[in-house]
Chain A
Amino acid sequence: MTVRRSANGALVLEGVCPVEDAETLLQLLQTESAGPVDWTECRQLHTAVLQVILASGIVPAGPCGDALVRQWLAPKLLPAAGG
């Protein structure tokens, strides 16, 4: 499991996030206590996980650990650009 809830409630993505993480993340996002998403430690994001993040409309905190996402996609996730 590379997606977990940290002590402060943040949803942390770590290492290589495989396709299954999409469902886990989706479930966590739907719980009432869902905190911010932290993807700084995620080295590689699966497309399915990215899709959940895009669909949720949230902007994860900090620079993404996955270079492709950080360079090309994260800038477009800024509030002005929507999700």
Chain B
Amino acid sequence: MSALQEQFVTEARELIRQANDDFIALERDGASRDRIDRVFRAFHTLKGSAGVVELPAMSIVMHAAEDLLAALRRGELGGNVDAFDQGLACLDLVSRWVDQFERAGSLTGQADEDGRAMAERLRSFLPRQAGPPEKSQSAADEGLLPEWASTLIASEREALAPRLPSHPSAMFAICYEPTAGCFFNGDDPLQLIRQLPGLLAFRVEPREAFLPLADLDPYACNLRLLAISTGELEEVRGVFRLVPDQVRIAAIPSEAGGIGLAGANDDERALISKVIEAQAELLRVPNRRGDLAGCVGAAARSAANALRHGEYLKLAETVEHAKALALSQRDAAPLLVALEQVLLAVDVAPPIVVVEDVDARTVASGDGSQQPAQRVLRVSEAKIEALINLAGELVVAKNALAHSAKRVEEELAGRGAVESIRRDHQTIERLVLELHGTILQLRMVPASQVFQSFPRLVRDISRQLGKKVELVTRGEGTEADKTIVDRLFEPLVHLVRNAVDHGIESPGERVAAGKPEAATVSIEASRIGDRFLVRVADDGRGIDPGVIRRKAAEKRIIPPEELAALTDEQAVELIFAAGFSTTSEVSDISGRGIGMDVVRSVVEQIGGRVSLQSKMGKGTTVQIELPTTIAMSRIMVVETGGQLFGISMDAVFETVRVNSDRISQIKNNTGFLFRDRVVPIVALAELMKLPAQTKDAAVAKLLVVMEAAGKIAALEIDAIHDRLDVVLKPMQGLLAGARGYAGTTLLGSGQVLLVLDIKELLP
């Protein structure tokens, strides 16, 4: 995938997400012009970039979506909720395409069909009379340029700037696509262009790539003529009066800063400055801690949008970067600094000139001391993974070095070199551990990454169920390891679905119970010590412990006498037990064949715990407690006596196959000579009290030489399986006191793997 395509994928995702949010907000809060404009711009940019990476299906859909938005802005749709549904469905489709494009670099033929169908559905909401020629005109009326016009202006900007009259009268972008047979009609398209009142730019391009000369039909017109002209609309239209069906004319708004034409437009710049100043002002107000992410996000978005509006693209990017930094540091300061810098840049220069300047300025400030680290580097996850793996290997190598250092110490006791090696080893050990820790920090991401999908989810479900639900998210800036945040998604989806489907009552029931008609579901992230807490709460009907008891008894989740002994609080937690589901009928929303037990198992897989409190009539809160980082252990999976065990790679020294003739019997024990040292052999099956298996003495033994707590021994095993990076879960419940185990982990197959504590086991 080329850099351009990668950028497209990243940007498209961001735009889709933003459009999604705005769409939902539009539906919820009503159509504000500002918001429609924002969605419109997102769609517009998507359409444009789809053209760049050659995804015609996507361009078609986005075009239809733009028409829909234009109608919405003109107030022609009213509160047509189905139109919102289609708008969101359109974003879903585009989102799937982006995924597909990322995987395959192109779209399948199906995409064209889907795209056309979607475009038709979107257009079905439009008032009937809007025919194609009207459309371009109406877009012009709206002050929004059709894409071809913006592209034309962008590509001709350099040529345009010097030619621009200081106070241009009305300007028009013209796209003239003569029919293939126009020459036979006696048309000479160039002749029409010559008649334009004030040509400012003109280009000719093939509509489709030219055929080789041998196949070229000189009398079939395959050209598109693009021009920008000043003059009166009537005058311009008059030129093309005989070919109205072949030409599109778009008025370029006179306050053309919007497309960067009038680069030196002072009013525009003043306006942009004002917007940014206002954002900076807002950020300076000490804010309530919890709302920081929202404040920073809103300020950055407004500032960046204003900048983009004025074609200060690089500056907008600077603001976006600063936003990310501010969110990650949970401090508005980086954004504030960036805004102040950007203000300076906007004040001194018009956009056309400023692009390079600003770049230089930002780079310069990078090595200056005033604004350290205000740029954010975007690095692919794969690279970070590679770095983490390398750091992990380094830790293993460091362990090996410890061993060597100790041997040197033993063998060369008293020499000066020993001291220096010990010192160096300690330094390296400290640095490696620090490096490892720092690299793990790279993976920390804010909870907002997972929260951002929920407004849409809640909207869709509540609409489907005819319930009114308000979603509140808090603590989006709380950070945790990316794996944890990513893995959190599935359980959260399940919890939120459950809350809306089962927890929240119908509006009628709520009113009857004296509650507000609209229910509240909240998702909240926080951090306590090194634990990452996520709470999903609803103010619904709560869970009836009686119902849970009855179901648990029916399904024999636990024996009746144990069930009877449970308190109500304990009883409701049975909802997490495997095979438990409170609704008997499978609903489309939450009954997809998985129950709350899945929530628990996923959470436990990433080393977390889940708990639940519920009050009848008041609501339910589920709390997920997770580590902020995943403490990964590298283990080797070995098999003995038909069972699998994990052993920590840190303890493994070497794996060897030893023929029986190298094994000697010393009293009751066996041992073998390994690097000039007699190493006792211990059969793991025996240690684990597994049934002894008779073995052919002639077959070489597979041994893992291990060292732990100063003891060295060789474990005899039957086979070695994978080496894995796993999250160790400490032994819990009845097993908490079991000795000899470092913990458990889940294998990909779902099987529980016992990881041995070699220190305890070695004799």
Contact = CB atoms under 8 A, between A and B. Distances in A.
Are A and B interaction partners?
yes
Interface of A: 19, 22-23, 25-26, 29-30, 45-48, 50-52, 54-56, 68-69, 72-73, 76
Interface in B330-370: none
Given A30-B213, A54-B210, A68-B194, A48 B202 contact: no
Given A47-B221, A48-B218, A73 B202 contact: yes
A73 B203 contact: yes
Nearest to B178: A47
Contacts of B218: 22-23, 25-26, 48, 51-52
Contacts of B199: 72
Nearest to A75: B159
B222 interface: yes
Interface of B: 178, 183, 187-191, 193-194, 199, 201-204, 206, 210-211, 213-214, 216, 218-219, 221-223
- Residue in B190, B194, B203 with the greatest tally of chain A CB atoms within 10 Å: B190
A68 B76 CA distance: 44
Nearest to A46: B188
A54 B206 contact: yes
B183 A48 contact: yes
B190 A56 contact: no
A29 B212 CA distance: 12
Nearest to A69: B190
Given A22-B219, A26-B218, A55 B213 contact: yes
B216 A47 contact: no
A29 to B, nearest CB: 6
27 contacts: A19-B183, A19-B219, A26-B213, A26-B218, A30-B213, A46-B188, A47-B183, A47-B187, A47-B188, A47-B189, A47-B223, A48-B183, A50-B190, A50-B204, A51-B218, A54-B204, A54-B206, A54-B210, A55-B211, A55-B216, A68-B190, A68-B193, A68-B194, A69-B190, A72-B199, A72-B203, A76-B203
A43 to B, nearest CB: 12
B223 A52 contact: no
B469 to A, nearest CB: 57
Nearest 6 CB-CB pairings of A with B: A55-B210, A22-B218, A72-B202, A47-B190, A47-B189, A26-B218
Nearest to A30: B213
Nearest to B200: A72
Nearest to A57: B210
Nearest to B202: A72
A30 to B, nearest CB: 6
A72 B213 contact: no
Contacts of B194: 68
B190 A29 contact: no
Question: What secondary structure prevails in chain B residues at the interface with A?
Answer: mixed
B201 A72 contact: yes
A83 to B, nearest CB: 8
Contacts of A56: 213
Given A46-B190, A47-B221, A55-B213, 16 more contacts: A19-B183, A19-B219, A22-B183, A45-B190, A47-B223, A48-B188, A48-B219, A50-B204, A51-B218, A51-B223, A52-B216, A54-B204, A54-B210, A55-B206, A55-B211, A73-B202
Contacts of B202: 68, 72-73
A76 B225 CA distance: 14
A56 B218 CA distance: 11
Given A48-B218, A48-B219, A48-B221, A19 B188 contact: yes
B206 A30 contact: no
A68 B187 CA distance: 17
A51 B211 contact: no
A68 B204 CA distance: 12
- Residue in A26, A46, A55 with the greatest tally of chain B CB atoms within 10 Å: A55
Contact of B214 (A30, A54, A72, A73): A30
A72 to B, nearest CB: 4
- Residue in B189, B206, B213, B214 with the greatest tally of chain A CB atoms within 10 Å: B213
A19 to B, nearest CB: 5
B201 A51 contact: no
A73 B159 CA distance: 12
Nearest to A23: B218
A56 B210 CA distance: 9
Nearest to A24: B218
A68 B190 CA distance: 8
Contacts of A47: 178, 183, 187-191, 221, 223
A45 B188 CA distance: 9
A25 B202 CA distance: 24
A34 to B, nearest CB: 10
A26 B204 CA distance: 19
Contacts of B221: 47-48, 51
A76 B158 CA distance: 13
Contacts of A52: 216, 218
Contacts of A50: 190, 204, 223
Nearest to A49: B218
B220 to A, nearest CB: 9
Nearest to B156: A72
Contacts of A29: 213
A37 to B, nearest CB: 13
A60 to B, nearest CB: 15
A81 to B, nearest CB: 10
Contacts of A26: 213, 216, 218
Contacts of A76: 203
A76 B201 CA distance: 12
A35 to B, nearest CB: 15
Contacts of B201: 72
